[in-house]
Structure 1
Amino acid sequence: MHTMNLNLSDDTCYCYTGGRPLQPGRPTAVFIHGAGHDHSVWTLQTRYFASHGWNVIAPDLPGHGRSAGPALESIEALADWILALLARLGCEQAMLVGHSMGSLIALEAAARAPDRITRLALVGSVFPMPVAPPLLEATLSARERAHGMINQWSYAPQSQLGASSVPGVNLTALNQRLMQRQAPGVLHRDMSACNAYAAGFESAAKVRCPTLLLSADLDRMTPPKALGPLVQALGNAAQVHRVVLSGAGHAMMAEAPGAVLDALWNFAGAQPSS
């Protein structure tokens, strides 16, 4: 399994590459996880892209998963970190894919470096992305309760009753364990960054590349009906595509992994295969 540990901003950064080494001449896709998560939420999508002609970079953000350092406190700082990672890897252009908090990071990075981002995929995204005060408080004072609230709001009803895209896998228990693995304070810092981010519309207006807004019809955290203002703000993008998946919630990469992959692959243009 091909992975990378890099020194970035005086700390060690872990990147998953989809099981394949990075190769010159291939297009690059960067997959950015959401709050309290790590690179593993993208397992199917990253492995497929890496096996079909793409370089894949799926980092653990600072303080998450296997990456060292404190979790960064703002979406802007995280966007700068992603751009610094691309520079560290010598990657001049890339497609950015971000889920939830990761979508805000991808949006901000695309606004800050429009000549370096070829395509932008915002998965489970809205702006603004407010966090309910009871959840924000729970991330600080009652982590397990916060994890339960996130699971309740992130998964479709059938998933909470045990349905799974992978037979025998309990999706909500898997997500709870993933959040438990993060250091104390990481989830609160992530949620606070989402709640405080105020530049979304201004940054969306600076995006110039084709942009995908990928939503799920049962998403209660970033519902598709709330996307209108962001779509309007993206008016200067080369193209804006909207896809709404049926039967999934905010955790759509777990609940509908194949459908998420199909949407991303079609948006990417199904570039080289092999």
Structure 2
Amino acid sequence: MRSNNRELTFMLHYSQSGEREQAPIVFLHAAGFDGRIWRKTQELLPDFNCVCPDLPGHGNSRQIPVRDFDAVADEVADLISHLGKGHVHLAGLSMGSYIGFRLMVRRPDLVKSAVFSGFQHDPIRVSVFIRALMHASSWMMNSKRNREKMARSLGVADASLVSFKGSRPIATSSTMRKISSLALNFDVTADLAGVTTPTLVLAGETEHPAILSSLSTFQSEMPNCTARLVPGHGHGWIAREPELFADSLRAWFSETPLPDGLTTIAEE
């Protein structure tokens, strides 16, 4: 069996880099991307064991359907069990954060600590008009030019990271619509008090108001949660400030002070 970029019929495709004897960091990407989005982070953390799967419906795991975030979390749990390292650290962005949180709820025995960015704890109310725009935008992502424009808006400079095998979209339009609906309706309010995994929740300063307002809720309702803002940035801050993100992961997973580039939030 190959030791890298393994793809099995019963498992998510993933890549792995860094120090294999360390507890793995499992990176969970945003919708419309795949595990390659973490390449810069992997380069900045050569002394960590970085595992980057393509999540269901995306890239080399696109044959696995996205039913709901719990089902995807179970797929990630299977991958973690396959790694055979016991507890892992989680790092998630946007869709990856929703999935990672559900994994902590369902399988707390698998997660040592977590860092999530760009998600909220309860449903986002949007108008019918906005939902229609989101539906239309999922079709627009079939255009390579539109995908690259979206990636640039998030600070992703490498255009190849938004296409699969040259020019195809990484995820289908139907997958993107499904994920948008799941994200808008995400609600873990009842689960917060029971999640004891040490968790760092991050958000760019100009994120959606629902994401920003959730920071204080995560911090106050979860027993071992810390929330921080990234000044001057939005949803795609990780691509624009890769060193700050890597430093944040290193600090949280090593239980050392967080970098100065993160700012505290006001308590409720």
> Shorter-chain-normalised TM-score: which range?
0.7 to 0.9
3-state SS in 1 of match to 2:89: strand
Deviations 1:219-273 (A, max 9, x none): 2376423423333331x3xx322221122210112111111111111111179xx
Output one character per residue of 1:103-140: Cα deviation in whole Å (capped at 9) or x when no partner.
11111111112222110111112122537413432245
Contact 1:28 1:95 in 2 (8 A): yes
2:207 aligned residue = 219
Q: Runs of 5+ in structure 2 lacking a partner?
A: 257-268
1:136 corresponding residue in structure 2: 134
User: Which deviates the most, 131-140 or 66-75?
Assistant: 131-140
Residue 87 and residue 95 in structure 1: after superposition, are their counterparts in 2 closer, same or farther (change >3 A)?
same
Name the residue aligned to 1:13: 12
Percentage identity across paired residues of the two chains:
21
Could you tell me how far apart the structure 2 residues matched to 1:106 and 1:174 are?
Answer: 25
Aligned partner of residue 228 in structure 2, secondary structure = strand
1:48/1:260 CA distance change after superposition, 3 Å: same
**Per-residue CA shift, 1:45-78, capped at 9, x if unaligned?**
22333x11x2211100122112241331211111
Q: Does 1:240 align with 2:240?
A: no
Note the 1:65-80 alignment, pairs <5 A.
Answer: 65-80=59-74
Q: Deviations over 1:177-229 (max 9, x none)?
A: 5793333422112212223333x123332221211011111223764234233
Secondary structure (helix, strand or coil) at the match of 1:126 reads: coil
Match of 1:201 in 2: 189
Cα root mean square deviation, aligned: 3.2
Q: Deviations over 1:88-115 (max 9, x none)?
A: 2223110111111111111111111222
For the 8 Å contact 2:36–2:161, the answer to whether it is kept is no
Q: Please, which of 183, 198, 201 is the counterpart of residue 210 of structure 1?
A: 198
> 2:182, 2:211 → 1: CA distance?
19
Report the CA distance shift for 1:204/1:67 in structure 2 as closer, same or farther (over 3 A): same
In the alignment, which of 42, 45, 67 is matched to residue 38 of structure 2? 42
Partner SS state of residue 227, structure 1: helix
Bigger relative contact order, structure 1 or 2 (CA pairs below 8 A, ≥6 apart): 1
Counterpart of 2:246, as a letter, is L
Does the 8 A contact of 2:12 with 2:76 survive in 1?
no
Contact 2:218 2:225 in 1 (8 A): no
Partners of 2:140 and 2:146 within 8 A in 1: no
Distance in 1 (alpha carbons) for counterparts of 2:70 and 2:152 = 25
Q: Provide the residue aligned with 1:263 in structure 2.
A: 248
Q: TM-score, normalised by structure 1?
A: 0.76
Aligned residue-pair number? 247
| Counterparts of residues 97-116 of structure 1 (less than 5 Å) | 97-116=91-110
For structure 1, the residue ranges without an aligned partner over 5 or more in a row are none
What's 2:238 paired with?
Answer: 253
Q: 1:259 to 1:267 in 2, by over 3 A?
A: same
Once residues 249 and 123 of structure 2 are traced to their aligned partners in structure 1, the CA distance between those partners, rounded to angstroms, is 22
Residue type at the aligned position of 1:244: L
1:240 & 1:121 partners in 2: Cα distance? Answer: 10
